[in-house]
Amino acid sequence: MNKAFVKESDGDDDEEAAALALAIPPGSKNYIRPEGYQRIKDELLQLIDVDRPEVVRIVHWAASNGDRSENGDYIYGKKRLREIDRRIRFLTKRMDSAAIVDPSVHHGTDQIFFGATVTYCDQHGQERTITIVGIDELDPLNGKISWVAPVARALTKAREGDVVTFQAPHGVDELEILEVHYPSPDAK
């Protein structure tokens, strides 16, 4: 098979970086909690110390088998190596731009800042609990929303008992803040 048909676009990195950069408002920092930063660091070290050397070993073995043009192990290994290298570059950039914020410094406060776990009630009487996290930590199914999300922006700097309004996709929504919680500084 001709290499022209298996080569990936070199612009993939630029597209991925541009899409993720849009998630951070211009002029803002890439806020992240210490545990989120540690997860990125652990993934990066796993890729560098374990995954990449294993794929390099496989590609080296596959290359020694001769004809590379129809060698599936070689072709897949090279593709996997590009994916790993792309992820390493991405994680390195994210770590370099990260501003680590420890939410436990706000422990005991009833005002909402980055890292707060907030329980609120919407205008339909539905109660929800969310934690405001960095864009690299978000997990909406587990109640972790990015600090740039409309709900998080509306809640930021409000206090327990306040009612805030924000523009939701279905219209204006009102949220009553029931509880604000931060991790204890001793919980580390």
Measured from the Cβ of residue 87, the count of other Cβ atoms closer than 10 Å reads: 16
Beta-carbon contacts of residue 133 (< 8 Å; ≥ 6 apart): 32, 33, 36, 114, 115, 139, 144, 145, 146, 147
- 59-68, 77-86, 164-173 — which one is most confidently predicted on average? 77-86
pLDDT at 85: 96
Separation CA 129–CA 151 (nearest Å):
12
Domains 3-100 and 104-181 share a fold: no
Question: Poorest-confidence range of 18-22, 51-55, 64-68, 99-103?
Answer: 18-22
How confident is residue 2, by pLDDT bands cut at 50, 70 and 90? very low
Helix axes 34-46, 72-97, angle to 10 degrees: 150
Cβ atoms of 151 and 130 within 8 Å: the answer is yes
Full-model pTM: 0.78
Separation CA 3–CA 12 (nearest Å):
18
Separation CA 69–CA 75 (nearest Å):
8
Beta-carbon contacts of residue 159 (< 8 Å; ≥ 6 apart): 110, 111, 112, 177, 180
* Residue-range domain boundaries for the chain: 3-100, 104-181
- Local structure of 145: helix, strand or coil: strand
Measured from the Cβ of residue 69, the count of other Cβ atoms closer than 10 Å reads: 10
| CATH architecture of the region 3-100 | Orthogonal Bundle (1.10)
What is the number of helices (H) and of strands (E) in the chain? 5, 7
Give yes or no for residue 178 having a pLDDT over 80: yes
Question: Poorest-confidence range of 81-85, 164-168, 175-179?
Answer: 164-168
| 12-42 pLDDT, tens digit each | 555 555 555 556 777 778 899 999 999 999 9
pLDDT at 18: 54
More confident call, 130 vs 64 = 130
Query: Which CA distances in Å does 180 have to 52, 84, 137, 144, 186?
Result: 43, 39, 20, 14, 18
Give me the CATH code for the 104-181 domain, please. Answer: 3.10.50.30
Separation CA 183–CA 77 (nearest Å):
43
